[in-house]
């Protein structure tokens, strides 16, 4: 069932159209044809605020299971967690703003 909806989104979605999923912080992005690469769907991993709105203009784009596994391995590295904690200590606190949430959710 989800495969049919993904196929439909790939065929009928507009270039760069983004759809929220039922997984907070995970979006579907219809990427346009580029040089020899046909149009495709990518996952966009982008943290969300309390309203479910993406907090970054563009998140991490993932086009395959292999890319997901590689990124997962990087993010699970203890040293990167320590580095992020050190960055938290030196960076000033960030202010947040709220934007209306998206209503069209792609159920996973």
Domain boundaries, the chain: 2-63+102-106
Which residues make beta-bridge pairs with 60? 45
pLDDT in tens, 44-56: 999 998 888 888 8
Separation between Cα atoms, residue 40 and residue 14, nearest integer Å: 11
pLDDT in tens, 49-88: 888 888 888 999 999 999 999 999 999 999 998 999 999 9
pTM, whole model, 2 decimals? 0.74
The half-sphere exposure of 52 on its side-chain side, counting CA atoms within 13 A, is 14
Among the listed ranges 29-43, 56-70, 88-102, which one has the minimum average pLDDT value? 88-102
């Amino acid at each position: 069932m989800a495969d049919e909806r993904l196929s439909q989104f790939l065929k009928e979605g507009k270039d760069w159209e983004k759809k929220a999923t039922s997984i907070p912080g995970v979006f579907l992005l219809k990427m346009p044809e580029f040089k020899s690469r046909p149009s495709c769907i990518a996952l966009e991993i982008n943290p969300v605020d309390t309203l479910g709105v993406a907090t970054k203009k563009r998140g991490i784009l993932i086009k395959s299971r292999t890319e997901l596994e590689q990124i997962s391995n990087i993010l699970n590295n203890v040293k990167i967690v320590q580095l992020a904690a050190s960055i938290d200590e030196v960076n000033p606190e960030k202010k947040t703003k709220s934007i209306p949430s998206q209503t069209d959710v792609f159920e996973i």
